[in-house]
Amino acid sequence: MHQRIGLILLIILAGCQSSTKKTKTQTDAEANYEIGLNHFKIGCTYINDNNYIEAIRYLNKAIEIEDHNYRYHHWLGLAYMLNGQFNEAVTSFKTAVELNPESSDSLNNLAIMAIDRGNYDEAYEYLKKVIKDKDYGQPQLAYFNLGVCLMNKNQAEQAIAAFEQAARFDAKFHRAFLYIAEIYSGQDNYKKALEYFLKAEAGFTNEVEVLFKIGYAYFRTRDYDNAKKYLTQVSILFPPQEIDRPTQEMLSIISEQYR
């Protein structure tokens, strides 16, 4: 099961219009640092505005002035990643890690792109480093990505454990519950799948595919009352044909049960 995972990290930057005019007491190095920092702030603001082309331009200008600053390379990688330029993003993130081996955000993003390319062993190595970083601010993302990696390596038990850990760090991380439910569904363990589908439901209000899966799981456990409730809801949301057809078939079978 190949899943693309999108990761968007946004920051709010104050004072983006920093003065770049050299004062009498500034050295050339200090003035250049301020110019580079100003370019960096503008680039990050463009990322927040979803203008990735301009973000790339300004972040490259910052790097021209201070090419040893790993943060500049990391955010350039993020801009490339969000713009769909994945080869350039990998290069930038790897440069950030070379400059700062503890750049966990860069390692996590490298893992995301490795997963997207199906390179699960490579992703696993990146994520091991991220998870070891006790100061990493978003451990739920690292464990979630680890779960996706392990799921694609057909290591179901370990994947479930990773998704559970992601949910421990963030109880509202509903996608982690959804993936656990998917694993149990793949094992035809619909009783356990239901447990996690219902935990995930709050994060996917009125999403037809999720409601269908809950209805199907109830149907497979022969809880026809609840199956009818969810499948009826699916049927009135104008689902695509590949969902509507089995929905109507199950509703027809349930109607037969009630005769």
Q: What is the CATH number of the domain that holds 11?
A: 1.25.40.10
Where does a domain end: 80, 100, 120? 100
Average pLDDT, the chain: 90
Average pLDDT estimate for 38-63: 96
Q: Is residue 206 part of a domain?
A: yes
- pLDDT (mean) for 110-126: 95
Mean pLDDT across 170-184: 96
pLDDT band at 2; cut points 50, 70, 90? very low
CA distance 204 to 69: 40
Residue 225's pLDDT is what? 95
So what's the pLDDT on residue 13?
Answer: 36
Confirm whether 151 is domain-assigned: no
Where does a domain end: 45, 65, 100?
A: 100
- Neighbouring CB atoms inside 10 A of 243's CB total 21
Is residue 42 assigned to a domain?
yes
In this prediction the pTM is 0.82
What torsion, rounded to 10 degrees, do the Cα atoms 129, 131, 132, 137 define?
110
pLDDT tens string 5-36 = 443 333 333 333 344 444 545 676 677 889 99
Six-digit token string for 76 = 């350039």
pLDDT of residue 254: 94
Task: Give the closest residue to 72 by CA, choosing from 44, 111, 35.
Answer: 44
Domain-embedded: residue 106: no
Angle at 74 between CA 73 and CA 77, to 5 degrees: 85
Domain total of the chain: 2
Q: Using one digit for the tens of pLDDT, what is the confidence trace for 187-201? A: 999 999 999 999 999
Determine, yes or no, domain membership for 120. no
Task: State the pLDDT at residue 237.
Answer: 95
Residue 189 within a domain: no
State the amino acid at position 57 in one-letter form.
Answer: R
pLDDT, mean of residues 204-223: 96
By residue range, what is the domain housing residue 8?
A: 1-100
Q: Which of 4-8, 64-68, 69-73, 137-141 shows the lowest per-residue confidence on average (mean pLDDT)?
A: 4-8
**Is the residue at 130 inside a domain?**
no
Domain membership flag for residue 111 = no
Q: Mark which of 72, 100, 128 sits at the end of a domain.
A: 100
138-161 tens-digit pLDDT: 999 999 999 999 999 999 999 999
